[in-house]
Structure 1
Amino acid sequence: MTSVSTSLDPLLSSTDDEYYCHYALDLFDGSSCNNLATQVSPGRHLKVLDSPVKTEAIRVRLCEDGYIAWLSATNKEDLYLASKPYQPTILSRREIEPYLSQIIDFTKIAMTQPNYYLWGGTVGPNYDCSGLIQAAFANSGIWLPRDSYQQENFTKRITKEELLPGDLIFFGTEKVDHVALYLGEGYYIHSSGIQMGRNGIAIDSLSDEGDEISQGYYAKLWSFGRVIESYCA
Structure 2
Amino acid sequence: MNLEFLPPSKSGEYLATKNINLYAKPNSEELATQMAQGRQLKVISSSIIEGSIEICLCEDNYIAWLSVEDLTYLKPAENPYISHAISEAKIADLIPQIIEFTYQAMNTPNYYLWGGTVAPNYDCSGLIQSAFASVGVWIPRDSYQQENFATKIPITELKAGDLIFFGKQRVTHVALYLGDNQYIHSSGKEIGNNGIAINFIKPEFPLDDQVSRNYYAQFWSCGRITQNLT
Coarse TM-score class (shorter-chain normalised): over 0.9
User: Aligned partners of 1:56, 1:15: CA distance in 2, in Å?
Assistant: 25
Unpaired runs of 5+ residues, structure 2, are none
- Per the alignment, residue 162 of structure 1 pairs with 157
User: Aligned partners of 1:53, 1:64: CA distance in 2, in Å?
Assistant: 24
1:215 to 209, 213, 224: 213
User: Aligned partners of 2:221, 2:48: CA distance in 1, in Å?
Assistant: 44
Instruction: Measure how far apart 1:73 and its partner are.
Output: 0.5
- Per the alignment, residue 51 of structure 1 pairs with 46
- Per the alignment, residue 86 of structure 2 pairs with 91
- Per the alignment, residue 114 of structure 1 pairs with 109
Runs of 4+ in 1 over 4 A off after TM superposition: 12-16, 52-55
Instruction: Measure how far apart 1:201 and its partner are.
Output: 0.1
User: Aligned partners of 2:85, 2:137: CA distance in 1, in Å?
Assistant: 8
Deviations 1:73-122 (A, max 9, x none): 00011111111000112101011111000000000010000000000000
User: Aligned partners of 1:219, 1:141: CA distance in 2, in Å?
Assistant: 33
**TM-score under structure 2 length normalisation:** 0.94
Contact 1:8 1:77 in 2 (8 A): no
Q: How does 1:1-233 map to 2 (within 5 A)?
A: 9-10=5-6, 13=8, 17-53=12-48, 56-210=51-205, 211-232=209-230
User: Aligned partners of 1:49, 1:163: CA distance in 2, in Å?
Assistant: 39
Identity between Structure 1 and Structure 2 (%) = 50
Contact 2:85 2:228 in 1 (8 A): yes
Contact 2:10 2:76 in 1 (8 A): no
Deviations 1:171-216 (A, max 9, x none): 0010000000000010000000000100000000112342111011
**TM-score under structure 1 length normalisation:** 0.92
User: Aligned partners of 2:49, 2:90: CA distance in 1, in Å?
Assistant: 45
Cα gap change, 1:54/1:221 in structure 2, threshold over 3 Å: closer, same or farther?
closer
Cα gap change, 1:14/1:41 in structure 2, threshold over 3 Å: closer, same or farther?
closer
Tell me whether 49-58 or 22-31 shows the greater mean CA deviation.
Answer: 49-58
Instruction: Measure how far apart 1:8 and its partner are.
Output: 7.3
Tell me whether 87-96 or 20-29 shows the greater mean CA deviation.
Answer: 87-96
Instruction: Measure how far apart 1:150 and its partner are.
Output: 0.1
Which amino acid in the other structure matches residue 218 of structure 2?
K
Contact 1:14 1:51 in 2 (8 A): no
Unpaired runs of 5+ residues, structure 1, are 1-6
Cα gap change, 1:54/1:134 in structure 2, threshold over 3 Å: closer, same or farther?
closer
Contact 1:50 1:59 in 2 (8 A): yes
Q: Where is the strand percentage greater, Structure 1 or Structure 2?
A: 2
Which amino acid in the other structure matches residue 41 of structure 1?
A
User: Aligned partners of 1:19, 1:130: CA distance in 2, in Å?
Assistant: 24
Which amino acid in the other structure matches residue 81 of structure 1?
P
SS of the residue 2:115 aligns to: coil
Which amino acid in the other structure matches residue 131 of structure 2?
A
SS of the residue 1:228 aligns to: coil
Cα gap change, 1:163/1:33 in structure 2, threshold over 3 Å: closer, same or farther?
same
